[in-house]
Structure 1
């Protein structure tokens, strides 16, 4: 379901705006060789004011990716690009603002379908489909300052020591991923 952004066009008003803005920027077509996938809260309708548009990608060559990202988006407001290592995995990340959305383009040398952001979203979407009443609780926790994964751990009564890992474990134990 999440391998294209077409579903956004029939979603809520923020999803429709996201579809329009992402399409206007041509991100999905301009970066097609990196298999871009929109992840995060907007696709599963738990976004709040200020939620960004997270687009993850599989990036083998950071130098080429950086060149292309700077060329395409370097002129937009609040543009920044960084490279770092997260849990022993090199990543590259670009942020910028466009049409009242903050974008985060995230790349690592891993299939997008195996990246944690995608797996978390799949698990969270499944939980919300099974228990729609949790949507409002998650949104309320996010408004209180909770990040998404810690909010899910709280409503699912999972240990909060490492919510990102606990959510993945939950997904595996329950056959979601």
Structure 2
């Protein structure tokens, strides 16, 4: 499960995450710089679910992680349950979401950048791409 948040300052969020989730299995908390912006990434397992909380000092709808989810949803809507299950299978084997989509779609290069580029595609361009890649449900 991926959760995207907007934060103002990292310290209060980090304290909250440690208090709320610090005792859970596989808990990690990292602060890093991504494209010139400080981000906080928190991972843990809740019951059998892997959880990632990603926070950045910008509105959620302007974050790349959100844009990835939007384009992934558009693709899933077009390609249906069979494609969704292929993505889930790869994720269960340890592949992150964006590399799973990129691999299944035959995208080359950085999977995060490739999906981000697709965010601004029109529905017609996305459909042409999927048909060109041999997806008949597009």
Is 1:82 the equivalent of 2:30? yes
d(CA) in 2 for partners of 1:114, 1:144: 30
Matched position secondary structure for 2:27: strand
Moved over 6 A (4+): none
Aligned partner of 1:118 in structure 2 is 66
Distance 2:15 2:32 in 1: 17
Query: Matches of residues 14-163 of structure 1 in structure 2 within 5 Å?
Result: 53-132=1-80, 133-142=82-91, 146-158=95-107, 160-163=108-111
Q: What is the CA distance between 1:140 and its match in structure 2? A: 4.5
- TM-score, scaled relative to structure 2: 0.72
Q: Which residue is equivalent to 2:119?
A: 171
TM-score relative to the length of structure 1: 0.59
CA RMSD between the two structures: 2.4
Gaps of at least 5 residues in structure 1 are 1-52
Q: What do the CA deviations read for 1:106-163 (whole angstroms, capped 9, x no partner)?
A: 21101111222221111111111112142244345445654322332333343x2111
Secondary structure (helix, strand or coil) at the match of 1:161 reads: coil
CA distance in 2, matches of 1:87, 1:153: 21
Give the drift of 1:54: 1.8
